[in-house]
């Protein structure tokens, strides 16, 4: 232990060692990042500017888009910058920032998706109490709780991870600083830390997941009592975007964090990380825009009316 040196810089995993493939990966990554930014920023602007969308569902959707922009911006820009400068290094402080940011935004993301399930439950199962339960103040408190839960989740995971000593090897088998991969580099005993991460994530996901399941069981029970098939389909369609986004988030993230760090290869970890870090932020705006008539109508009002006014 006396000749081990403390790590001050980490080396991240590149997507390819072949220059041509590296350029192709850079272009694809940049296009996906820009698509995620444009889609989510468009929803943020539309909800903020159109007073017709100043209702709880779209308020939470705007917060979800803000979290998606933040989460994808925590990892992708550094990877793009490294590709341009032909390097793989990241400073210790930069690594801490990535871990803290990603844990914060993903924790708040899942909390917000749970709140959105509750919003759908109140809207469908208790419509007469909706305005009272989902008042402006209540929505602000719920959104604040989602962000606070993300901060607490982030503080716990970041503190737990970087309380360990990193020495010797400093190559992270991932294109960003990911907790399971960082635990592999610690020279102190990581068994308790690894178990702690898995148990905490499992409990957090389980609590939110049970709440979501109970909400949707109540929703489906209520909808099936509606005599008109057209009304059933219309009610189900308001839940479909949320269910799609929720499925993307859960199934892409569950494999990465609810497993031991030694149970997969670097290539597989890289593919899974790409899925859970990029797919939800890219697809969420598409899902909500394509399945939501009010978003489409708002886009037409904001763009069509202004083009008409200019002409």
Number of neighbouring beta carbons within 10 Å of residue 299: 16
**Confidence class of residue 231 from pLDDT cuts 50, 70 and 90?**
confident
**pLDDT score at 255:** 63
Report the alpha-carbon distance of residue 122 to residue 135 in Å, rounded.
12
**Confidence class of residue 20 from pLDDT cuts 50, 70 and 90?**
low
DSSP state of 171: B
State whether CATH 1.20.1070.10 applies to domain 9-310: yes
pLDDT, tens digit, for every residue of 56-91? 988 998 999 999 999 999 989 998 888 888 888 999
pLDDT, tens digit, for every residue of 140-176? 999 999 999 999 889 888 988 888 888 767 888 888 8
Residue 150: HSE in the Cβ half-sphere, 13 Å Cα cutoff: 27
pTM of structure: 0.84
**pLDDT score at 17:** 66
Identify the three-state secondary structure at position 89: strand
pLDDT, tens digit, for every residue of 96-110? 999 999 989 988 988
Q: What is the mean pLDDT of residues 255-270?
A: 59
Report the alpha-carbon distance of residue 16 to residue 175 in Å, rounded.
11
Q: What is the mean pLDDT of residues 272-291?
A: 78
């Amino acid at each position: 232990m006396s000749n081990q040196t403390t790590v001050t810089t980490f080396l991240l995993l590149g997507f390819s060692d072949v220059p041509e493939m590296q350029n192709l990966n850079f272009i694809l990554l940049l296009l996906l990042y820009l698509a995620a930014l444009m889609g989510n920023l468009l929803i943020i602007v539309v909800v903020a500017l159109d007073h017709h969308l100043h209702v709880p569902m779209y308020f939470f959707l705007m917060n979800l888009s803000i979290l998606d922009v933040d989460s994808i911006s925590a990892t992708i820009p550094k990877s793009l910058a490294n590709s341009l400068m032909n390097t793989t290094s990241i400073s210790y402080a930069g690594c801490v920032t990535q871990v803290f940011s990603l844990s914060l935004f993903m924790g708040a993301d899942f909390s917000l998706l749970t709140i959105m399930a509750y919003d759908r439950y109140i809207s469908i199962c208790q419509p007469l109490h909706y305005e009272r339960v989902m008042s402006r103040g209540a929505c602000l408190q719920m959104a604040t709780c989602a962000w606070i839960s993300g901060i607490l989740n982030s503080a716990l995971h970041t503190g737990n991870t970087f309380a360990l000593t990193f020495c010797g090897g400093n190559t992270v088998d991932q294109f960003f600083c990911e907790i399971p991969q960082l635990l592999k580099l610690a020279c102190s005993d990581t068994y308790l830390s690894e178990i702690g991460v898995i148990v905490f994530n499992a409990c957090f996901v389980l609590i939110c997941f049970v709440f979501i399941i109970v909400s949707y069981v109540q929703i489906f029970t209520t909808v099936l009592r509606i005599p008109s098939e057209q009304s059933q389909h219309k009610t189900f369609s308001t839940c479909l975007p949320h269910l799609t986004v929720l499925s993307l988030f859960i199934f892409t993230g569950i494999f990465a964090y609810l497993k031991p760090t030694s149970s997969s290869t670097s290539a597989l970890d890289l593919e899974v990380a790409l899925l859970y870090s990029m797919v939800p932020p890219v697809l969420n705006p598409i899902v909500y825009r394509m399945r939501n008539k009010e978003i489409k109508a708002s886009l037409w009002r904001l763009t069509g009316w202004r083009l008409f006014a200019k002409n």
